[in-house]
């Protein structure tokens, strides 16, 4: 997929447009014409698949603020796979385990994304159009990027495995594969990845393991849904600080704030039942006129 733009925009702007476009597609926000009222939107032409005409993509103003620091709110994985069925399977599986996942089928686009967003892991197919996986891996390591790379490919010869590992891959898995094995290899790579201090969070007696996707309070395991886990993780990363409903929406649900929705309040209530009911002190606090905050261990109840 190529993004066409007017003038000479930076590679960073290209990446922001790409990520914003994917968000809009997921939410059905792509429009051919018209500007929503009350929001600042920017237009960019996008080539339609296998056609000679263009559609107009409108990017909301909040998407312009996306940066590498935002990507660290959750462990973020870049899947580089040109087979749409395999890419969709991987995305759904990894998102079910609470990872943030971006997908591209282009080696050149993957290189641009890896340079602009602070990913925690790349899952890389070797047989890609334009720039293949071998060349992408060579360029990543040539620029001394420490991003962990798991090669996932149909090339199962010993010579290919040796070549991939010698080029700098951290692991090599051949297709067909068992998803459970891939998930275990992902967890292993993340455990020894380049952000080890952030893999476990703790506030008072509340603990959250971002790799094992487990949460406990006072040693008791909390059974959380994926969205509850993501919400708790965001509150813990901002412990002691009030966060607005709009901030929660954009970081946990990954789309712009709709003032008519009460989804945040609903999920806060779900989370309170699991995190606070039966435990002392109560950690999730409502901040009137603002939103919510998670109390720290030092605060008086």
Q: Which residues of the chain have pLDDT under 70?
A: 1-73, 144, 193-198, 254-260, 299-301
My answer on whether omega of the bond before 281 falls inside 30° of 0, hence cis, is yes
- The encoded tokens of residue 254 equal 């990954």
Task: Give the pLDDT confidence score for residue 254 in this predicted structure.
Answer: 63
Domains, the chain, with CATH or none: 11-65 (no CATH), 68-195 (3.40.50.2300), 199-294 (1.10.10.10)
* Assigned token pair, 96: 């079910």
- So what's the pLDDT on residue 111? 92
**C-alpha span between 182 and 94 (Å, rounded):** 10
CA distance 103 to 28: 18
pTM of the model: 0.50
Beta strand residue intervals within 138-258, DSSP E: 149-153, 171-174, 200-203, 206-209, 214-217, 220-221, 243-244
């Amino acid at each position: 997929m190529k993004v066409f733009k007017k003038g000479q925009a930076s590679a960073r702007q290209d990446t922001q447009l790409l990520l914003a476009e994917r968000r809009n597609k997921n939410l059905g926000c792509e429009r051919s014409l018209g500007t929503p009222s009350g929001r600042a939107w920017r237009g960019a032409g996008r080539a339609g698949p296998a056609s000679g005409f263009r559609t107009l993509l409108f990017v909301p103003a909040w998407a312009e603020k996306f940066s590498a620091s935002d990507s660290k709110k959750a462990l973020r994985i870049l899947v580089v796979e040109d087979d749409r069925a395999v890419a969709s399977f991987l995305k759904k599986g990894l998102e079910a385990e609470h990872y943030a996942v971006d997908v591209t089928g282009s080696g050149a686009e993957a290189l641009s994304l890896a340079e602009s967003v602070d990913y925690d892991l790349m899952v890389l197919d070797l047989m890609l159009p334009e720039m293949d996986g071998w060349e992408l891996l060579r360029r990543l390591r040539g620029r001394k990027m420490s991003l962990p790379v798991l090669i996932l490919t149909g090339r199962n010869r010993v010579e290919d495995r040796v070549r991939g590992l010698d080029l700098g891959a951290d692991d090599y898995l051949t297709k067909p594969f068992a998803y459970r094995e891939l998930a275990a290899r992902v967890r292993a790579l993340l455990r020894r990845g380049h952000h080890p201090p952030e893999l476990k969070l703790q506030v008072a007696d509340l603990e959250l393991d971002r790799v094992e996707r487990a949460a406990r309070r006072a040693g008791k395991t909390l059974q959380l849904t994926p969205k509850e886990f993501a919400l708790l993780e965001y509150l813990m990363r901002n412990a002691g600080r009030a966060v607005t409903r709009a901030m929660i929406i954009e970081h946990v649900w990954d789309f712009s704030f709709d003032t008519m929705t009460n989804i945040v309040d609903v999920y806060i209530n779900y989370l309170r039942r699991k995190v606070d009911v039966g435990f002392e002190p109560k950690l999730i606090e409502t901040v009137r006129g603002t939103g919510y905050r998670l109390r720290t261990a030092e605060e008086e109840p």
